[in-house]
Structure 1
Amino acid sequence: MIAHISQHTNLYSAQELGDPIRTSSQEIERFLSMLLFMGVFNFPAIDDYWHHESRFSVIADTMPRRRFKLLRRFIHFNDNQQCDGSPDRFYKIRPLFDMLHQQCLLIPSTYQHSVDEVMVAYKGTRAGSLRQYIANKPEKWGFKLFCRASSSGIIHDLLLYQGASTFFNITLTEQEEALGLGAKLVTTLCKTIPLPRLSVVFCGNYFTSFDLIQNLHGNLGLRCIGTVRANRMGGATLKTDKELMKEGRGAFDYRSTEGVIAVKWVDNKCVNLLSNACGIAPVSSVKRWSKEANTKIAVPCPSLIPAYNQHMGGIDLSDMLVHLYKTPVKSRRWYFPLFGYILDLCISNAWLIYKRDCSLLNIKPQPLKRFRLAVAHTLAQVDKLPSKVGRPSSSSPPHMPS
């Protein structure tokens, strides 16, 4: 990936200036290390890291300001002249996503997977309709990605959303083409699961439908649990919300057919779920606050609810870790925020793998911030010779007594 960035940065600068800026893989590594440092030590402006009143030596000593800005200006990831007429609207950043995608698929996963959407913040207008709006997200404007993760937060697969041409490079069967967008996305992301017949996928109500659950099990052997909208439950006739609310908190109703169970459960409000991996029994209980009793009370709960809650949060966890220390990506180029997300996701995934290995070895892991700084220091020092230990050598031989 680093060699690819170096090559295309030189190519793009030659196309623009007539002469390449002659960067190298080693210099790109130092450039990436500076971006990683900037994600932890966030200054108001790029120039502040070099200004004499606020100079930050870890960054300022790595590379001169003018050279850093030149690299930032010309950094590139694909050949613009080879992409004319391409149906891929993300062609400027696609090679990096393809490389990241291949590496994520190599990470060993658990048997529990969750599928959800991620927003990469971008408020500019230069990306046109690639920029999406989602009202209930912290980052309301940006690029939409769909990811598959394990419950530990490790991202194993991802797909960039670009409207009608999202699946331009993916082969779909006639049965999959007939599915809705949400079901089509889940099916595509689940095709890369190594052992589908041993695995369960968890989805939100944007994706889940009766057709999706049947398609996943019939074609991939994959089981599924998901919250679902009332009009996608395959025609299951359950008690109305009003009837269940009268029965009180913890009341539930269910119907099953063709190996799929539809459940409606009352918490603060009614929740609908579909499942072919887990059912009602054993009915457990969850603690909920009661205004009347002024304390927490036990509320009956079907067994698929805690299973869903336990394994659905992987992508939210990854999103939280990525946002803790974000690479500064303010730029006129619309694809630069996606480059920053790739860098931050690499660190997040690497830290979660490292943390998992530490738990197996009974070693206390470094926190994410220290891990990110360690990676940054390594990238900054990777091509430097180690300093010599001891007294400096002299060019002339030592004076010997007569």
Structure 2
Amino acid sequence: MKLNLYLLIIAVFSVVSTLAKKTTKLYSFEPTKHNVKILGRANYQNGYLWFGLTDTGIEYTFYGKTTVINVTADTKAYSEESPAHIAIYADGKIYEKTLINQKNTDFTVKFNRKGKHTVTFIKISEAEQGSLRINKIKADVKKIIPTPPNKKKIEFIGDSITCAYGVDGKETDTYSTATQDGTKSYAYLTAKKFNADYSIVAYSGYAILSAVSFDGERNPNTALPPYYDKLGLTFGSEFFSLGNNEFDDGTYELQSTTWKGYKKYNPDLIVINLGTNDSFYFFTIDPSKVEAETEVFVKKYEEFLTKLRRKYPRTEILCTYGIMGQYITADIEKAINNYIAKTGDKRVHTYIFNEQNAEKNGMGADTHPNAQSQLDSAHELINEIERLYGWKADKKVNIDKLI
């Protein structure tokens, strides 16, 4: 009897010890700049980090094995129609790509061994379809640290091409956040090749002056420059109507939140890729209006360059166009030449991309560039940046493997 009791005690102790070993204590951290590197435009408020733009998120290093990122999606970002698309990288390799399907989610990253590890969490769909916030980060160590800043910084300003709209889709597909993947955008790939920090300010359907017209009139809500100063923008129930970002504890508007990070994020280079939707606008209005509206477009482009120069006195600006058609190349070049002639600004240049090669590569959703065409454009842009500015791309970074 005593022997049996003794064996029972030993067995219970063994089970308790095993459970104790399996239970890992996790320490909690706020998503502040002291704990994580913030990628792209994000706003820390009320204890959480809020963001929506393509490829925005966080990155951090810790000396442990397990970490958990607690994320809340706004009502649009976990909707069945347009769930946010996210990517998690573990030590530089893709760990998970998924669509948000609930309001609150714990994303757990477990490494095989305890040691120094880097975790990256980014939203790879665009802000038009909702925003996310990171509430807490947990790890099995008492400290997490931001990854260091890179030597170069690039900001990309664009439309659906820059958002990687439909990059994983087929030509016959229509809009879906599931086929958006900002890590396959020429912008992201270019930044990676130069080991540069990036900020992507891009919205599908947006323009310098106006996107496609459904009633023959200009649609001022589709001009990007007025929203450049904002944290982002999100659509409402109708296309191109602006909406709220609704969370349980309040309703916010990306487009009502001013971006205040200009001084902290002062890019070495800004790449503008706008004009494609303006060309569609010109196609959908009365031909008698095109000449006058084109002049307004030229003026608005000049004004946008002036606005950027005021914010960034020494930043190089590269104005690009052409991946989905080169219909208004002459008008874009006119705007840039006018600006340079008026200001003497020697830090503004133009580059016209080759059109996507649909015959060779096929197309993504709604005839947008697929992954191969995005990669082709990235290689073009990388070569042009090297030529214009003397930057050196990292030969060890093989962006062909990133798509």
TM-score by length of 1: 0.27
Q: Which has the higher strand share?
A: 2
From the CA coordinates, give the structure whose radius of gyration is larger: 1
TM-score by length of 2: 0.27
